């Protein structure tokens, strides 16, 4: 009987999660309809954009072997910092580029258009998948699992775990009065960190 009760409880929890997700998506749809006028003012029409979009296969890319050669000593991308590397890739392949996966990594798209960022963020849903910090995720979820106790933060999580954490902290952290409590202390720590760096490196962090 206890075993069946546990199964029923698990089934009920799954249904509750699915119901909560559906309600959240409905709220987002209602918000989107409410903001339709604002979207029209911004000349933003997702359906029109989607209909005019080119196929994924037409995104410019370099072969993995060609990219590897460019990163080797004497290559075009050798010893470039992240900013110069992105500008060089933009010159070579355009404003939207496909970086083919290497060494077990998945392929991903790089865009230099701010409008694309907005489009992705508005349409990725409540459980976004944002790869790129797998090392940090492994450290927090495996190496320091006992310390973080399942609370790994927004940077290293994705999907449902990210959505649940964001829903919990958003009402607090989006309040300006709460941000002001930590802003000056964190700025002080940042300035102290910059002062410890050599002058050439300080320029990389200055805005």
What are the pLDDT digits (tens) for 182-202? 888 889 998 898 888 887 676
Place of tokens 């609370």: 151
- For the chain, give every domain's residue range: 54-124
Size of the chain, expressed as the number of residues it contains: 207
| Angle made by CA atoms 21, 23, 27, in degrees to the nearest 5 | 115
pTM for the model: 0.52
pLDDT in tens, 21-45: 555 555 555 555 545 444 454 445 6
């Amino acid at each position: 009987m206890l075993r069946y009760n546990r199964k029923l409880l698990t089934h009920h929890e799954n249904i509750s999660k699915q119901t909560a997700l559906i309600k959240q998506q409905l709220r987002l749809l209602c918000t989107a309809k409410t903001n339709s006028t604002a979207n029209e003012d911004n000349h933003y029409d997702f359906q029109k954009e989607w209909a005019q979009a080119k196929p994924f296969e037409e995104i410019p890319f370099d072969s993995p072997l060609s990219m590897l050669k460019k990163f080797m000593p004497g290559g075009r991308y050798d010893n470039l910092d992240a900013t110069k590397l992105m500008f060089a890739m933009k010159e070579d392949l355009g404003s939207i580029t496909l970086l083919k996966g290497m060494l077990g990594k998945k392929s991903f798209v790089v865009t230099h258009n701010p409008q694309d960022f907005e489009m992705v963020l508005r349409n990725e849903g409540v459980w976004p998948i944002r790869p790129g910090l797998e090392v940090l995720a492994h450290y927090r979820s495996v190496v320091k699992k006992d310390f973080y106790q399942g609370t790994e933060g927004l940077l290293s999580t994705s999907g449902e775990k990210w959505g649940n954490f964001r829903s919990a902290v958003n009402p607090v952290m989006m309040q300006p009065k709460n941000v002001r409590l930590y802003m000056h202390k964190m700025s002080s720590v940042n300035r102290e960190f910059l002062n410890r760096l050599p002058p050439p490196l300080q320029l990389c962090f200055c805005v």
